[in-house]
Amino acid sequence: MRTLVLNAGYEPLAVVSFKRALLLVMNERATVIEKVDGQPVWGTRATYDRPAVIILTRYVRVPMSRRVPVTRRGVLRRDGYRCAYCGRAASTIDHVLPRSRGGADSWENLVACCLRCNNTKSDRTPQEMGWELRVTPRQPRGGEWTVRGTERADPVWKPYLAHAA
């Protein structure tokens, strides 16, 4: 069951799982404007209406230029599955500027990273580690990076929804 998310100006913004929608509602970031009748959601403390459509309480600004959506797989692919710090095989992605310190989920702030470097770096910056990036992370260009079908709805809007939450 999926929920349509409307921006505060009523324009459709994204389709998310009803669980995520409920979280936005429970955190008072959104209100339910249409529910699914007869299918309540049983929480631990209360019963909730299953949201069909929710509207964000605060307007989320969406940039005009359409960016290539950031995905974990996309970052790994862009960096050739090589760790941006040590060059070994990478299976994880790392926030260059850690998220805990305001680092964004963006092409420019995400790099492929091996598990070892990722664990060692933790929530520090490369500068603090005395590490150098082997690549300059950028948004990839070209049609091959267009995400099609079902992958589209969530990754495209995730950064904005995260911002709203």
Three-class secondary structure of residue 128 per DSSP: helix
Strands 12-17 and 2-6: antiparallel
Which residue's CB is nearer to Zn ion, number 85 or number 107?
85
What does the alpha-carbon distance between residue 72 and residue 12 come to, in Å, rounded to a whole number?
A: 25
Which residue's CB is nearer to Zn ion, number 3 or number 109?
109
Which residue's CB is nearer to Zn ion, number 5 or number 111?
111
- Cβ at position 128, least distance to Zn ion in Å: 16
The phi, psi pair for 3, rounded to 5°, reads: -120, 135
117 is a contact residue toward Zn ion (CB under 5 A): yes
The phi, psi pair for 89, rounded to 5°, reads: -55, 130
Site for Zn ion in 126-155 (CB under 5 A): none
Site for Zn ion in 76-95 (CB under 5 A): 83, 85-86
Please pick, from the candidates 114, 153, 161, 164, the single residue that binds Zn ion as defined by CB under 5 A.
114
- Cβ at position 18, least distance to Zn ion in Å: 38
**Residues in CB range of 146: below 8 A, 6 or more apart:** 68
Neighbours of 62 (CB within 10 A): 12
| Binding residues with Zn ion: total (CB under 5 A) | 5
111 is a contact residue toward Zn ion (CB under 5 A): no
- Cβ at position 62, least distance to Zn ion in Å: 35
Structure tokens at 44: 């631990």
- Residue ranges that bind Zn ion, judged by CB under 5 A: 83, 85-86, 114, 117
